[in-house]
Structure 1
Amino acid sequence: MSPEPAATPHPPRRTYSYLGPAGTFTEAALGQVPEARDQIWRPVRNVGEALADVVEMRADAAMIAIENSVDGGVSTAQDALATMPGLRIVGEYLVPVNFVLVARPGVRLEDVELVAAHPVAYAQCLQWLSAHLPEHAHLPAASNVASAVGIVDGISDADAAIAPPGILDHYDLELLAKGIGDNPNAVTRFVLVSRTAPSPAPTGADKTSLIVELPEEYPGALLELLEQFATRGINLSLLASRPIGDALGRYRFVIDADGHVQDERMADALLGLRRFSPKVIYLGSYPRADRQIVRYPERYSDDVFIEARDWLRGLISGEPEA
């Protein structure tokens, strides 16, 4: 009787850090990652802690918010990516910013006088609150979830809280109203960050993220930086400045460019940036969340760059021109 084959060992579970506790928009973004399902989700208190988990190998990847369609770039995330080496963005995910108004079971909307909310969430719901609770007062909270957790734990004096819809999956709360955000099209963009590794293969619907410093302050310096992309037909979907912090008036630029590092035009642009800038931080090339194919004029196709390089090589080697 032949022995039974040995059981195939299960691969170790991966750990993903995210801004907690459970019920946050960041958790909703992590829920969009197929490879994160049935893995270990590690809630943390801030972006810096999430990225430190990755660098120090407590987590395999971290989900962080990087941009909001209403408030713009998330400065804490941009600054952390600029100053913490050894990180790569490997994917992006979009989460609609919807808010609900919740309270302890039995509380009615007409009972609400004091509303707990993170200041950013409060500002994004102010029109609804003014229309439906014109005499309310605001109690600032540390986070969108903390506003509701304080009510559940009985440590908050608030009658109701503004929170993400996911809070209802984790806590016994009364739903007083949903869809209370003033901008129904508000979206937050999240990125999944891992340790330095090769970028995912190009899909044709890709984005490349960079952080670039100017060599010095002089008229046209920023234009010269932007020309590295414009002369190669590359569109920028994000251009934001952040202070470097070593002197007044010194800035670094956070850039999202349409395309992949393996595209000839993008590779050529990065070479131009490297020659121009004293510091270029490559954060990664990864599929766009909207999967929209990147369009560009034919004169910027890979074949054109390859032909031009072959032509120059022929000139240098002395080959006769056709």
Structure 2
Amino acid sequence: MSSEPEATTPARRTYSYLGPAGTFTEAALAQVPEARGQVWNPVRNVAEALADVVEGRSDAAMIAIENSVDGGVSTAQDALATMPGLRIVGEYLVPVRFVLVGRPGTTLSDVSLIAAHPVAYAQCLQWLGRELPAHAHLPAASNVASALDMLDGMSNADAAIAPPGILEHHELELLAEDIGDNKDAVTRFVLVSRTVAPPNPTGADKTSLIVELPEEYPGALMEMLEQFATRGINLSLLASRPVGDALGRYRFVIDADGHVLDERMADALLGLRRFSPKMIFLGSYPRADRVINRYPERYSDDVFVEARDWLRGLISGEPTA
């Protein structure tokens, strides 16, 4: 008697993110279609999230990489520079909105001590100075932790600054919403996996790199930047981070408009590799804003291909027109 083979359920993928539930990082992960219905693993810091990926505990990790108000997230940039075997496969933008929350039954007039992560607190100073001028600040390890410690009685705070998503997970009193001073503030997150081949170009792509100057000499940084400028490539991010082995030694975190399979980008990467062997390719991936990359016609793929064919003809002795 034959029997039909039993259907196997596909293994669920695991995604690490900065927890606990309700963080901006969780909001970024919620934008990833393939992550829905999978296992979400909250962790305590960026290094732990990336270590989960490197060591195979997670398939990918969502980390914050840049904030429009505070700039690059140095812990994430340094981790990507020093942990091999990682690749950025996507980016996601999350508007930065803050709410003021308290224990159930709390009113705004009850608030004198506010728990908040220092970065969040700094981004709400105008509202706090206007609405609660006599308050005191209690620094917290994270935006969500500021509220949970208050809720659990672990801190003496009357209220906490937190992301709006926390209200979906915990019973808290909403005292005020949208209290951030910069209404256009946004945080950029990247989804990081183990090393994989980049997806096909979309025309609205970004390439992330970390490049170390090979040695210090006048014009070294300009020589590095010329690899992009002479090929018509715009840089949307250029940030320096200390290498750490000596004063004055820096590596540069770079986001360049384009894809590694674009002729101009591939040519630039070859030039960068010749310039600095200590170059890390972090990935080519679709831009979160889906804005099409623009460049002069003289840097189109066809022009690079024609130039290579022309050189090949010179070498082979083909007659020239």
Q: In which range does the TM-score fall when normalised by the shorter chain?
A: over 0.9
The 1-side partners of 2:173 and 2:230 are apart by: 56
Q: What SS does structure 1 have at the residue aligned with 2:126?
A: helix
Q: What SS does structure 2 have at the residue aligned with 1:38?
A: coil
The 2-side partners of 1:153 and 1:246 are apart by: 43
Q: How does 1:121-132 map to 2 (within 5 A)?
A: 121-132=120-131
Which residue is equivalent to 1:226? Answer: 225
Q: What SS does structure 2 have at the residue aligned with 1:267?
A: helix
The 1-side partners of 2:312 and 2:121 are apart by: 61
Gapped regions of structure 2 (runs ≥ 5)? none
Q: How does 1:183-202 map to 2 (within 5 A)?
A: 183-202=182-201
Which residue is equivalent to 2:111? Answer: 112
The 2-side partners of 1:271 and 1:205 are apart by: 22
Which residue is equivalent to 2:32? Answer: 33
Kindly provide the amino acid, as one letter, of the partner of residue 236 in structure 2.
S
Which residue is equivalent to 1:166? Answer: 165
Normalised by the length of structure 1, the TM-score is 0.98
Kindly provide the amino acid, as one letter, of the partner of residue 206 in structure 1.
D
State the 1:75 CA deviation: 0.2
Supply the RMSD in Å over aligned alpha carbons: 1.0
The 1-side partners of 2:102 and 2:229 are apart by: 52
The 2-side partners of 1:8 and 1:266 are apart by: 45
The 2-side partners of 1:261 and 1:59 are apart by: 26
State the 1:3 CA deviation: 7.0
Which residue is equivalent to 2:181? Answer: 182
Superposed CA deviations along residues 177-203 of structure 1, whole A, max 9, x for unmatched, are 000000000000000000000011110
Which residue is equivalent to 1:156? Answer: 155
Q: What SS does structure 2 have at the residue aligned with 1:310?
A: helix
Q: What SS does structure 2 have at the residue aligned with 1:199?
A: coil
State the 1:5 CA deviation: 5.1
Which residue is equivalent to 1:60? Answer: 59
Kindly provide the amino acid, as one letter, of the partner of residue 103 in structure 1.
G
State the 1:287 CA deviation: 0.2
Which residue is equivalent to 2:205? Answer: 206
Which residue is equivalent to 1:51? Answer: 50
Q: What SS does structure 2 have at the residue aligned with 1:42?
A: strand
Superposed CA deviations along residues 224-276 of structure 1, whole A, max 9, x for unmatched, are 00000000000000000000001100000000000000000000000000011
Percent of aligned positions that are identical:
83
- Are 1:94 and 1:289, in contact at CA under 8 Å, matched by a contact in 2? yes
Normalised by the length of structure 2, the TM-score is 0.99
Q: How does 1:252-267 map to 2 (within 5 A)?
A: 252-267=251-266
Number of equivalenced pairs: 321
Which residue is equivalent to 2:279? Answer: 280
